[in-house]
Chains A and B, each alone.
Chain A
Amino acid sequence: MYKLVLAFRYLYRRRISYLALAAVALCVFIVVVVMTVMDGLVGDFKQKNHNYTGDCVVGTESLVGFAYYEDFARIAEKASYVEAVTPVIKSYALVGVEGSGRNTGVELMGVEAGSYSRVTGFGRTLYYHKNDASKAFEAGSDSNLPGFVIGADLWSGRNEKGEYYYAPSPEATALSVTCFPLTAKGALAKAGTDVVNTKTFYFSDCSQSGLARVDGSIIYLPFEEAQVLCGMTEPVKRASWIHIKFKQGTNIEEGCRQVRQMWGKFYDEYKGKDNAELLSQVSVRSWKEHRRESIAGMEKEQTMLMMMFGLVGLTTVFIVYVVFYMIISHKTKDIGILKSIGASCGDVIVLFLGFAAGLGVIGSAVGVAGGMLFLRNINRIEGWLYERFGFQLWDRTIYAIGEIPHRLDLTMLAVVTGCAVLACLAGAVLPSVGAARARPADVLQVSQL
């Protein structure tokens, strides 16, 4: 009990300990704010990538694609843990506004709007067909015409709030889409001729996935149309990827492992068939593996930022050390009296470490409270700064970021608080040990009093 009383007394009476408290609170505040924003950005980015991909993908990066995808899709659909399956064509195309004579290179994705929306978050990214994604390719001008869905950044600009400009209904714009069909061997189809596969499509919708690279480079076409344009119908039908969504509650890694096994059996069964050599290039990946190149950069930045904060946090350890050194050097007589009435070295160490832990907890609480208050108002503050000074943390016309993330992660809070308490304990260890070693006979001499 006396340890608790003394710890509170030191905290209350020794004003210098307020400084250590302020240092801990400052560090915790900054770390909570920065990590919440960073965590939010990374988490949001990952979620968008997950929505874009589905849970698992089976396929190849080769533009040639792979055969017998329908058979595998049928098998996969029957698995108890699979919710939905959809094939996708991925290739490149030249697109130009009819009559302009100019073409731009884009990535082309051929998708079955209905099933693709069940597997991925495609339906939610649409503007005009959000409520019925199966009609995503119904052109606005005439539902009988073949439609295209285009990445929002290819179609429209963003305002300072990150919002796109959309007409009330789909505009009647026609795009000519040209592909260079490849044979199953990877050679150009119809070689020796100047024939390319070109078809006109009509604007049906915009897709805003929130992924800048996706929204700025992809045009979606109906699966069958894309398959024909890319020459993936002969001699056997081919697709680039099969996207899979698992049933709720399925562990993604476990699901992918089972799909891998399923693919292994399928490969063994089909490897003797025509064009089966394309199957050897097929891999099974989880959404994270599939989008690793995009996600890894942000995760590494988060790690580096944490390392930097760790380094700067060392200063807090120093402060706690100095504060405890001062307190203990002023309280040698108290320590001498405590030891002379029976307190052990361990008791003295526990007393000061307990004080340090209390300091860490209170400092963290202040820092967390300040951080929460700041985060709750962070978007309002940014709005005010923008109105007054034209300052935005991120220019929304450049970055596909909505509001600044401000949702607190309790695990992160616990980790930060834990680190702060540990830092305080680390700073207090040496002075506490020094205090424990004090000998009552030395510190309570008459000459010292």
Chain B
Amino acid sequence: MSAAPEHAPTMAQTTLAERLGPYMPVLLVPLLALAGFLAIMNPASWLTLTVSGLAMGMMIFIMASGLTLVFGLMDVINFGHGAFVSVGAFVGITVLMTLGHMTQAPSLMLNLGAVLLAVLGAMLATGAMGWAFEKVIVAPVYGHHLKQILVTMGGLIVVEQLIIVLWGPEEIYFNRPEALKGAITFAGAAIEKYRLVAVAVGLAVFAAMRWVLRRTKIGLIVRAGVENGEMVQALGYRLKLVFVGVFIAGSALAGLGGVMWALYQEVITAHMGNHAMILIFIVVIIGGLGSVEGCFIGALLVGLMQNYIAFIEPKAALISNIALMVTILMWRPMGMIPVVKAK
């Protein structure tokens, strides 16, 4: 018998790049903010733009988070997701406008009460609509990506036209409630109050989603289902039911995002959801399909990028996010936080 070959394992110290690797996506946000600072060189403008970028990012995250889970869980590409954004905005703003006496009153409580009612109405409407959308439009095309794209796109068009039938073809302008108007001055920079509210709501939604996904059994089922749905079912869980629940929750979140987006723009159109879909898709793709954390980071990057570039070189704003997507996909083709798929 010949002697065993020499076995002399060596322990190499990991390089800084290797150790930073897993945290890179998270670090990208402060890095982008720093790059923005160096490019703008004006602390007050930079602060205004950064808060504005973060607010925009948070709103995109709220709108996109449902879409990424729906795709991850059931491989469903829902081009109709934007419909929930539009419907959420119209229902929410309609509620808000009928509560004019509350929104115009100089009372913070009354203002917030009106906004909460608007958000509640929008989320109930879009949640119910999500349930119907899943039953009628998505359920018959499981497993067929091309059909999903066509039929959900069709669903979006139908919903847009229904909005025009119900609310008319004109853009609807409105004013934010008194308490959300105006700006505060901090370190010489004017920061709109509403943007701070948007950041706070976005953070709260992200924290709540993470808590549900990490700390509850339903969250475990969703995370496991994104990775290997077949095995989750073999353990005895009705994944289809969980998926419908996620679809409804995702639709309701898109509705919330729609109201927030509307309050940000102070105008609503039937096509606003469709327009938001471009940014939503960019965010979901660069984040890693199925990853809520990736979606969150991606949304912040897109929001910041859009605001910085719009300030530095307005004409480049439109392509800046496409460029961001291309760059990130060249670095990580499966998105920043790729979800491990079983097959």
- Please say whether chains A and B are actual partners in one complex: no
> Residues of B with Cβ closer than 8 Å to A?
none
> Residues of A with Cβ closer than 8 Å to B?
none
